[in-house]
Copies of this chain bind each other. A is one copy, B any other.
Amino acid sequence: MSSRADAVRNRELLLSAAAEEFAENGVDAPISAVARRAGLGKGTVFRHFPTKDDLVAALVVDHVTRLVDLANDLVGAEDAGAAVLEFLSFAARQRQLLDIPFLAHVSDEVAARKQGELERAITALVDHAREQGALRPDVTGIDVMRLMCVPNEIMRNLPDAQPDLWERYLAIVFDGLRPEGAHPLPHPPAA
């Protein structure tokens, strides 16, 4: 009755339902809400993701994968500074739960590996931009990764704000990453 293809479709259905639900109501939203939003039974969620944490991890992997792909696409761009800005804008537009809390608390191996990939991809991007003089000399990919979520977190705290307001705060942060008027940074970024 249900083909392999249906299973794949359901998995996607669940992932996007979960992304919406968690973005809207936080990760504490019950699994049942995700199931309802997907039009599926609660049991089906657990068939695909044995644990709620697994579902969250899959979401993170999905999201990080998209970011890695974009970063890799952008890594050869002429204007590396613009590329970094585009990357950060893309990240900000994904309202999903790209909190680093997640990146951090999700213990999933695959997720961890993906984060490593992301770190390398962003670092490449940032290194280019720094070398081109588009970013301050003392900033690293890790720094950018850590600042990546700032617009999202601000927006999460302002549920009624106009949807593009994040651009304002990304602009400020990005100005802080530029070489003009940069004051030397304390501490190394560490691992």
Residues of A within 8 A of B (CB): 28, 99-101, 103-104, 136, 139, 143, 146-147, 149-150, 153-154, 156-159, 161-162, 164-165, 167-169, 171-183, 185-187, 189-190
Contacts and interface: CB of A to CB of B under 8 A. Distances in A.
Contacts of A172: 139, 143, 147, 173, 176-177, 185
Nearest to A184: B171
Contacts of A158: 100, 104, 146
B176 A190 contact: no
A154 to B, nearest CB: 5
Contacts of A154: 100, 146-147
Nearest to A175: B176
Contact of A161 (B101, B149, B186, B190): B190
Contacts of A181: 175, 178-181
A183 B175 contact: yes
Contacts of A147: 150, 154, 169, 172
A105 to B, nearest CB: 9
A97 to B, nearest CB: 12
22 contacts: A100-B154, A100-B157, A136-B175, A143-B168, A143-B172, A146-B154, A147-B169, A150-B150, A161-B190, A162-B187, A162-B190, A164-B187, A165-B189, A168-B187, A171-B186, A172-B185, A173-B173, A175-B182, A176-B176, A176-B177, A180-B180, A181-B181
B190 A157 contact: no
Given A28-B28, A180-B180, A181-B181, A104 B169 contact: no
